[in-house]
């Protein structure tokens, strides 16, 4: 056992301050406030003086960097290369694709002046980069031998949102956006699905421990200007859906608008097929809302900024020296094993430190007290079950911590999947559908048949605030009656209220 965790060292805060530190977190029943508290109190982000923007603090940026590294590895492993395109785009580019301009015009930020001079042509700040990238691709593609073009960029984008929430929906956010050009429709479709499932779904489920449903967006919900849009939908801790990543088969719409043509092997000049796909910092919001609990964040070990925190415990100077020797040894072995570890030597009570790191979601706490130093052991405490304390010999620490991190990663995924299953319902008629959508305590995904009529879809949204999140790739056999209008239907849809 770790030694004397309730004792106060010189300079440690008092019990009252220790308790207040935890009480400042809103109850999870007030999910919106709980979420805001976690973002700000764990120092993931802070408010910006610019409306709707956020400052990503080092702890939050370290989480994002780990996500970027793991996702970028997957993108490159599938043959894509990184590039960079301008933040500012001429107004005429936006006007060349009608559906695109209609879809994004309300969110576009404009630059009309440079210094004291009015610009001859206003520039818009990219909400997404299909237009400027399409312009460049038209210059780079001449022959079928130039294809495919498989490029991705990591960038910031701006969308002038009316209602914002940190990480989930901000005026400026960080993301990656892939843009590819292909010779045939089949190649473009294969690319779209490759990214959706082998890149995004694999990343979300294996690295972020977030189970997702892969599916096709309805015509009303698809990306402006796309032929088809596919998305990955995740259930948050309040039962609402979060669109976690999207992959678009753009067909020939943008290629036609931006004159992306190539001479094929038969000598004929043809219009290319293009795709685009993206995932953003809203994935950070997903990690918070899927895994967080009443004590704070629970970081998936694969992306956690700190995977293990060592809390030294001592009362006397002579005890501190022995503890420090073991702490240094354990920290060194963990670093050698590739574990992101931190030792907390602050002059605070152990209980304060426990709460501090639990709030920040560090997967494993390692307690080392005088008795542990004497016996050559440590105590491991998993964030997923703080009552499950494990005493481990110092020689086995690196191996046991690595195994525990893998266990925690799987536990978080299993718990999230179990929660989603428990909050997924089948509605056989519209009365049942409305009842489910109105029940805050049971709110979740509702699966039902849908006739495919956009008017029917719009009426459901108006009456219940629920949208079709996707038509799952795995469709049931047969058909049924539309949950709203009762007409014969062959599309099985997932409905939910969403962020």
* Per-residue confidence (pLDDT) for residue 317, from 0 to 100: 87
Say which residue the tokens 């004590």 belong to: 295
**31 occurs within a structural domain:** no
Task: Tell me, yes or no, whether 390 lies in a domain.
Answer: yes
Q: Is position 78 within any domain?
A: yes
pLDDT in the model for residue 98: 64
Tens-digit pLDDT profile for residues 218-241? 999 999 889 999 999 999 999 999
Taking 70 as the pLDDT cut, the residues of the chain under it are 1-23, 97-98, 100-101
* Domain shared by 219 and 152, yes or no: yes
The CATH number of the domain where 491 resides is what?
A: 3.30.110.30
Q: How many domains does the chain have?
A: 3
205 and 172 in one domain? yes
Q: Do 78 and 183 fall within a single domain?
A: yes
Last residue of a domain, one of 400, 419, 438: 419
Cβ proximity of 204 and 74 under 8 Å:
no
User: Residue 184 domain-assigned?
Assistant: yes
Domain final residue, candidates 402, 419, 436: 419
Question: What domain range includes position 457?
Answer: 424-496
* Confidence at residue 96, expressed as pLDDT on a 0 to 100 scale: 81
pLDDT value at position 95?
81
């Amino acid at each position: 056992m770790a030694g004397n965790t309730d004792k106060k060292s010189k300079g440690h805060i008092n019990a009252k301050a220790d308790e207040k530190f935890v009480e400042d977190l809103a109850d999870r029943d007030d999910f919106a406030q709980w979420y805001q508290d976690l973002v700000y109190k764990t120092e993931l982000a802070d408010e910006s003086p610019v409306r709707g923007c956020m400052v990503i603090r080092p702890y939050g940026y370290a989480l994002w960097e780990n996500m970027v590294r793991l996702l970028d590895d997957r993108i490159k492993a599938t043959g894509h290369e990184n590039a960079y395109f301008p933040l500012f785009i001429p107004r005429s580019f936006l006007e060349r694709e009608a559906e695109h301009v209609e879809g994004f015009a309300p969110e576009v930020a404009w630059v009309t002046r440079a210094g004291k001079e009015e610009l001859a042509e206003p520039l818009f700040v990219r909400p997404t980069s299909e237009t400027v990238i399409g312009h460049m691709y038209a210059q780079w593609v001449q022959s079928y031998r130039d294809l495919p073009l498989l490029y991705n960029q990591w960038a910031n984008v701006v969308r002038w949102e009316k209602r914002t929430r940190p990480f989930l929906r901000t005026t400026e956010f960080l993301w990656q956006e892939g843009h590819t050009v292909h010779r045939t429709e089949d190649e473009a479709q294969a690319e779209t699905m490759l990214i959706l499932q082998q890149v995004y779904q694999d990343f979300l489920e294996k690295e972020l421990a977030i189970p997702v449903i892969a599916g096709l967006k309805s015509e009303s919900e698809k990306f402006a200007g796309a032929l088809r849009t596919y998305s990955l939908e995740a259930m948050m801790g309040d039962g609402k859906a979060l669109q976690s990543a999207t992959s678009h088969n753009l067909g020939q719409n943008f290629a036609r608008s931006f004159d992306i043509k190539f001479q094929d092997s038969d000598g004929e000049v043809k219009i290319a097929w293009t795709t685009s796909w993206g995932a953003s910092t809203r994935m950070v919001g997903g990690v918070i809302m899927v895994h967080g609990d009443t004590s704070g964040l629970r970081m998936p070990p694969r992306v956690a900024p700190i995977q293990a925190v060592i809390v030294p415990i001592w009362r006397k100077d002579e005890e501190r020296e022995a503890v420090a020797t073991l702490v240094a040894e354990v920290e060194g072995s963990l670093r050698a094993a590739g574990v992101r570890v931190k030792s907390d030597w602050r002059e605070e009570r152990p209980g304060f430190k426990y709460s501090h790191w639990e709030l920040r979601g560090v997967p494993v706490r390692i307690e080392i007290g005088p008795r542990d130093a004497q016996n050559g052991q440590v105590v491991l405490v998993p964030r997923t079950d703080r009552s499950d304390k494990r005493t481990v010999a110092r020689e086995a620490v690196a191996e046991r911590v690595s195994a525990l991190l893998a266990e925690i990663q799987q536990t978080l995924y299993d718990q999230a999947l179990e929660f989603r299953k428990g909050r997924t319902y089948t509605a056989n008629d519209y009365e049942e559908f409305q009842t489910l959508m109105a029940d805050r305590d049971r709110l979740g995904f509702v699966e039902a048949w849908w006739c495919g009529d956009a008017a029917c879809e719009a009426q459901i949204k108006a009456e219940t605030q629920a949208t079709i999140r996707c038509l799952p790739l795995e469709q049931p056999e047969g058909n049924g009656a539309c949950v709203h209008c009762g007409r014969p239907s062959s599309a099985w849809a997932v409905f939910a209220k969403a962020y």
